[in-house]
Amino acid sequence: SSEYEKGVIKELKDWTHLGLNVPNEFFNGLPPCPFARQAWLDNKVAIIFDDTNSWQCLYSSVSQFDDVYDMAVIVRKNPLGTPEDLHNYLGDMNRVISEGMFIDKDIWLMGYHPDDEEAEFVAEDIEVEEMVDEPYLMVFIQRLSKIQEAAYKLVHKGYYENYMSDEYFSEQYAKREEYYLKLRRNENANEEEKAGQERWRRSNEKASSSTNEGRRSSEKEKTGPDARGWFTETNEKRWGHRDVAQTA
């Protein structure tokens, strides 16, 4: 990898260890991101450098996301646009992901823009050595279900008490929870549909088995083959079709 890529990765690791993994009063004494450090230690973070002028890399990363990694981070230098452009775009992306445009609905995107206002929880004494001169934005790709289920565990520890006082962050939480609950409803509906299909299959096999048993019993009493055979018999019994032409 290039010196630029090595520098970005070093910055991300340092920021995780120094800024996101230490207890913070804003989060009731919990780290801002309690699970980030372990993801790095377990090599569960994929860094993707995108030097194109389109979002095709993001589309591909969302479509191909699997659980080899806990998180994929797209790093992009150009074009940056404005923070509002980025966050509005990712909001639209989260919506269409939840609607099934990328098939897998269990995805949540978050973004960082170099011109974002500094978050309230960032401690003033945190200093991360800058390894690269060029600004870059980041898009974080994660499992929606993992993030929201982890959030439910943190709620009871007071993690979100101050966080929810921020209008933007509270809106993001509400939207994320909305998509999560929608995902779970869809999964439950799919499970019910699969169960119904399985019941139908078993019932059909049972009916077919009874038909075959009756046919075998009948064949024992016949002196010759029936030219109409199984097709006609099955259709008459199952569908009531009695106009099937007989063969000579």
For residue 111, tell me if it sits in a domain. yes
Separation of alpha carbons 157 and 173, rounded Å: 16
Nearest to 110, CA basis, from 19, 7, 33, 220:
33
Looking at the domain assignment, is residue 80 inside a domain? yes
- Examine residue 181 and state whether it is found in any structural domain, yes or no: no
- Whole-model pTM over 0.75: no
How open is the CA angle 233-239-243, to the nearest 5 degrees? 65
Helix (H) or strand (E) segment spanning residue 112: strand 108-112
Total number of domains in the chain: 1
Which pLDDT score is estimated for 121? 60
For residue range 203-247, what is the model confidence (pLDDT) as tens digits? 777 777 766 666 665 555 444 444 334 344 444 454 444 444 443
236 within a domain of the structure (yes/no): no
Give me the domain span that covers residue 106: 3-144
Question: Has residue 49 been placed in a domain?
Answer: yes
Residue with tokens 């099937």: 244
User: Which residues, 6 or more positions from 22, have their beta carbon under 8 angstroms from its beta carbon?
Assistant: 31, 123
**Would residue 222 count as lying in a domain?**
no
Mean pLDDT of 48-73: 95
